[in-house]
Amino acid sequence: MLSSKLSANRIALAITFILLLVIPHIASSYIVYVVILAILFSMLSASYDLLTGYAGPLSFCHAAFYGLGAYTSALLTLKTGMSFWLALPISGMSVFLFGAVIGYPALKLRGHYFAVTTFFFGHFMYLVFLNTRELTGGPLGLGGIQPPESIFGIDFSGMTANYYLILIFGILMVGFLYALVNSGFGRLIVSIRENEDLAEAVGVNTAFFKVLAFSISAGLAGITGSLFAHFFRLLHPSTFSWMTSEMIVVMVLVGGAGTLVGPIIGAGVVTFILEMMRFAPELRFVIWAILLIAILVIEPRGLAGIYARIRGGK
Amino acid sequence: MQLGSGLIIGSVYALVALGLNIIWSITDIPDFAQGSFYVIAAYAGYFAVTLAGVPFPVALLLGMCVGAIMAFSCERFLYRRWRERTFRAAARVQLLVAIALFFLFANAANAIWTSKAKIFPAYMKGSLLGLSYMRINVFLAAIVLFILVYLFIMKTKPGKAIRAASMDVGMAQVLGINIDTVNSIVFAMGGALSGAAAVLVSPLYSVFPTMGDLPLLKALVVVILGGFGSVSGVLICGLGLGVAEAFGATYISSAYQHGFAFFVLILTLLLRPKGLFGRV
pLDDT averaged over every residue in chain B: 84
Contact A120 B108 (CB under 8 A): no
Determine the pLDDT at residue A314: 42
Partners of A254 on chain B (C-beta within 8 Å) are: 96
A71-110 pLDDT tens trace: 999 999 888 888 889 999 999 999 999 999 988 888 877 7
* Integer angstrom CA distances of residue B234 from A207, B15, B18, B33: 30, 8, 6, 19
Strand partners, A154: A151
Residue range(s) defining the domain that contains residue B121: 2-271
Most confident of A52-61, A123-132, A172-181, B148-157: A172-181
From A256, which residue of chain B is nearest by alpha-carbon distance? B89
Q: Do A116 and B265 touch (CB under 8 A)?
A: yes
Q: What is the mean pLDDT of residues B219-233?
A: 81
ipTM score of the complex?
0.80
Q: How confident is the model at residue B89 (pLDDT cuts 50, 70, 90)?
A: low
Residue of chain A minimizing CA distance to B101: A289
Q: Do A286 and B96 touch (CB under 8 A)?
A: no
Assign residue B89 the CATH number of its domain: 1.10.3470
pLDDT score at A5: 60
**A148 Cα to chain B: minimum distance (Å):** 34
Residue of A nearest to B89 (CA): A301
Confirm whether A283 is domain-assigned: no
* Least Cα separation, residue B125 to chain A (angstroms): 36
Contact between A32 and A163 (Cβ < 8 Å): yes
**CA of A122 to nearest chain B CA: how many angstroms apart?**
10
pLDDT at B27 over 60: yes
Interchain pair A250, B97: CB under 8 A: no
Please give the residue range of the domain that contains residue A190: 34-239
Contact A229, A145 (CB under 8 A): yes
Residue B279 within any structural domain of the chain: no
CB neighbour burial string for B123-155, b if at least 16 within 10 angstroms, e if fewer? eeeeeeeebbebbbbbbebbeebbeebeeebee
Check pLDDT > 60 for residue A3: no
Please compute, for residue B201, the number of CA atoms within 13 A of its CA located in the half-sphere on the CB side.
Answer: 29
Within 10 Å of residue A288's Cβ, how many Cβ atoms?
Answer: 21
Confidence of residue A146 (pLDDT cuts 50, 70, 90): confident
Closest Cα to residue B99, out of A117, A250, A265?
A250
- Helix pair B157-167, B179-201: axis angle to 10 deg: 100
What whole-number distance in Å separates Cα of residue A90 and Cα of residue B274? 37
More confident residue, B177 or A179: A179
Distances (CA, A) of A11 to A2, A15, A175, A261: 14, 6, 18, 15
* Dihedral pair phi/psi, residue A183, rounded to 5°: -95, 180
Mean pLDDT of chain A: 85
Q: Poorest-confidence range of A125-129, A254-258, B8-12, B257-261?
A: B257-261
3-state helix, strand, coil in chain A (%, to 5): 80, 0, 20
A291 falls within a domain? no
Is residue B105 included in any domain, yes or no? Answer: yes
For residue A260, being part of any structural domain is answered with: no
In B, minimum Cα distance to A123 occurs at B259
Query: Residues A283-292: pLDDT tens digits?
Result: 888 888 888 8
Shortest CA gap A96–chain B (Å) = 20
* A2: confidence class by pLDDT, cuts 50, 70, 90: low
Task: Print the SS3 string covering B22-47.
Answer: HHHHHHCCCCCCHHHHHHHHHHHHHH
Q: How far is CA A243 from CA A62, B19, B41, B139, B235, in A?
A: 11, 23, 22, 31, 28
> Is B280 contained in some domain?
no
Position A300 confidence tier, pLDDT thresholds 50, 70, 90: confident
| Structural domain includes residue A64 | yes
The answer to whether the CB of A290 falls within 8 A of the CB of B101 is no
Tally the C-alpha atoms within 13 A of residue B9's C-alpha that lie toward its C-beta.
Answer: 22
Domains held by chain A: number = 1
| Chain A nearest-CA residue for B78 | A297
Domain-located, residue B203: yes
Residue B196 lies in a domain: yes
Nearest to B104 among A117, A282, A289 (CB): A289
On whether the pTM is more than 0.90, the answer is no
Residue of B13, B26, B75, B103 best to disrupt the A interface, most CBs of A under 10 A: B103
B62 is a domain residue? yes
Q: What's residue A295's pLDDT?
A: 81
Burial class (CB within 10 angstroms; exposed 0-12, middle 13-18, buried 19+) of A150:
exposed
Answer yes or no: is pLDDT of B62 > 80. yes
Residue A113 has pLDDT above 60, yes or no: yes
Q: Report the distance separating Cα A55 and Cα A189, nearest Å.
A: 5
DSSP letters along B123-177, please?
----EETTEEHHHHHHHHHHHHHHHHHHHHHHHSHHHHHHHHHHH-HHHHHHTT-
The answer to whether A282 contacts B110, with C-beta atoms less than 8 Å apart, is yes
Q: Choose between A180 and B83: higher pLDDT.
A: A180
How many C-beta atoms surround the C-beta of residue B84 within 10 A?
A: 8
**Is the pLDDT assigned to residue B280 strictly greater than 50?**
no
Which residue type does A111 have? Answer: G
Residue B277 lies in a domain: no
Cα separation, A74 vs A84, whole angstroms: 8
- Cβ–Cβ below 8 Å for A120 and B99: no
Residues of chain A positioned with their CB less than 8 A from the CB of B258: 123, 127
Query: What's the number of domains chain B is made of?
Result: 1
User: Does residue A13 sit within a domain?
Assistant: no
Give pLDDT tens digits for B122-146.
777 777 777 778 888 888 999 999 9
Instruction: Using the predicted structure, report yes or no on whether residue B233 has a pLDDT greater than 90.
Output: no
Contacts of A117 in chain B (CB under 8 A): 224, 265-266, 269
Residue A7 belongs to some domain of the structure: no
Please tell me the least confidently modeled range out of A61-65, A128-132, B270-274.
B270-274
CB neighbours of residue B251 within 10 Å: 9
Query: Which of B93, B262, B273 lies nearest to residue A109, judging by beta carbons?
Result: B273
Cα distance between residue A214 and residue B130, in whole Å = 49
Q: What phi, psi does B163 have (nearest 5°)?
A: -65, -40
